[in-house]
Amino acid sequence: MNTQNPGMDPVVRFCLPPQLQQWIQLYRAPHPEAAIVKQVPITEENLMRIRELAKIIPIRRRYRGPRNNLFGRECWKRQALRVSVYLK
């Protein structure tokens, strides 16, 4: 069983390029989560890494915005501040 990230098979993670493995380690989701990475700030470099990951494995992106009493956690891409990535 994969204790570091239950959302991703250990063999798949091992076969990823080293730069993606380091990036995943930087934004790794907590243990019981099914996400690959969570709370990734939306920057050009991070979006490039997510596109690289999408070419290798099927993923789903969830965009997160500012949290307040009027809005939920998920939002439109143009309003997002962070993104979380899940296996499809």
pTM for this predicted structure: 0.78
In order of 4, 8, 28, 39, 66, the CA distances from 24 in angstroms are 11, 11, 5, 11, 23
Element (H, E) at 49: helix 44-56
Closest of 44, 51, 15 to residue 85, by C-alpha = 51
Express each pLDDT in 48-80 by its tens digit: 999 999 998 899 999 988 766 555 577 888 888
Q: Is residue 45 very low, low, confident or very high in pLDDT (cuts 50, 70, 90)?
A: very high
> How many CA within 13 A on the CB side of residue 6?
5
